Amino acid sequence: MFVHPQRPIWNDTSTCKDAQRRASADLTINGTTLLALALQHPSIHIRASQQITPASIKSVDIEFRPLLPSFVHRCISLCLPTYKPDEWVPLRRAREQFDATLGDTQDFDRWIASCLTINPSDAYVTHMIILGYGTNSVSLGCSQGLVYFTPVWRVFIRQFLEETIADRVSYVEARINFSPEFMIGPDGKANAPHKEWLRTFQDVLAEFRGSLQAQGRDGEFIGAEHHQLRYYEGFDLVGDENVLRPLKDYLPQLLSFSTLQASRGLPEHQRIPFIFHAGETPGDRSMADENLYDAMLLGTKRIGHGFSLVKRPKLMAMCRERGMALEVFPISNEILVYWLPFHVILSG
């Protein structure tokens, strides 16, 4: 949900066509769909932290990765007693050799899809005692090895846009995780730089907008009809504020970034603004809480999450005075257990 102090918007996508959404791209498309994309590529492998058995299947950690064509796998199943932790197995073979006591290939698909999905039992039961990014990190870690593979990336973006429209969301900001320096290419080597990721995104977006226009559906996507789309909406630092370094530790770099843009004579509307995550914490007077002050001093265009902002009436007033937008995420707050949903409170 994206809230502007003068123009509040409720992101109810069942009734509001022009809802606004900001999304972590890695976690957007259906897990079953992502698995189907992965199975089209024989180079994609899977590994597990231990042998998959009826006792371990719900707690085991898994990871995906496209490997070099020359890679020789030594095991054909995650379920064999001889399987060694973190040993790579071709995804297709792992699916074919899924232990019969665990089910068939469809059961394998359901298991993988569940690993790629944040579900209610994870959010409200398994991870209830973990305050922070634990639940998100589990699904994100699984999906990255599938998403950041150039042959999948292009199809993934198109599917992401299709599902966005299907959800009746007509404006979206996709947050791409730039932590890997390179994406893995078709040859199994990590050699696709960030600029190629963005170029592909731009190409697919242009194709998608064109297909909507050809169908007379361009009004379903605000970015295609009413706005000149900016591929860089802003600069942010993302992560668990409760354990990572605060904004003030990056002041020299952040200030020089602003100075550099001004020194090059860029007009205001062409500069990349700050759009910081800040105050995404249930704590009080912590470093994460202090990020709110530093974000505003740095001139952030808006504040992501801002969960602890409600404890700071003066900062709330400053947000209103400056016309600063606040991105709020009730569902994310539930998943990260920053507050308890009503059904949990009532059942407890």
**35 confidence band (pLDDT: 50, 70, 90):** very high
Residue 24 pLDDT exceeds 80: no
Residue 118 pLDDT exceeds 50: yes
Q: Which residues of 206-241 are buried (b: 16+ CB within 10 A; e: fewer)?
A: eebbeebeeeeebebbbbbeeeeeeeebbebbbebb
Q: Which residues of 136-162 are buried (b: 16+ CB within 10 A; e: fewer)?
A: bebbbebbbbbbbbbbbbebbbbbbbe
| pLDDT at residue 130, rounded to an integer | 40
State pLDDT tens for residues 231-240.
677 888 877 7
Residue range 272-281: mean pLDDT, rounded: 86
Nearest to 87 by CA among 58, 68, 62: 62
pTM over 0.85: no
CB atoms within 10 A of CB 255: 11
| pLDDT at residue 222, rounded to an integer | 59
Residue 294 · residue 248 · CB < 8 Å? yes
Residue 150 · residue 184 · CB < 8 Å? yes
Residues 107, 101: Cα–Cα separation, whole Å? 11
Residue 302 pLDDT exceeds 80: yes
Beta strands in 193-237 (DSSP E): none
| pLDDT at residue 16, rounded to an integer | 41
Residue 341 pLDDT exceeds 50: yes
**141 confidence band (pLDDT: 50, 70, 90):** low
Residue 116 pLDDT exceeds 90: no
Number of H-type helices and E-type strands within the chain? 13, 11
Mean pLDDT (the chain, rounded): 80
Torsion sign over Cα 58, 49, 114, 282: positive
| Amino acid identity at 243 | V
Displacement of CA 11 from its chain's centroid (Å) = 18
State pLDDT tens for residues 43-96.
999 999 999 999 999 889 999 999 999 999 889 999 999 999 999 999 999 999
Q: What's the CATH code, domain 19-225?
A: 3.20.20.140
Domain ranges of the chain: 19-225, 233-347
Residue 16 · residue 10 · CB < 8 Å? yes
| pLDDT at residue 202, rounded to an integer | 87
State pLDDT tens for residues 168-192.
777 777 778 788 899 999 999 999 9
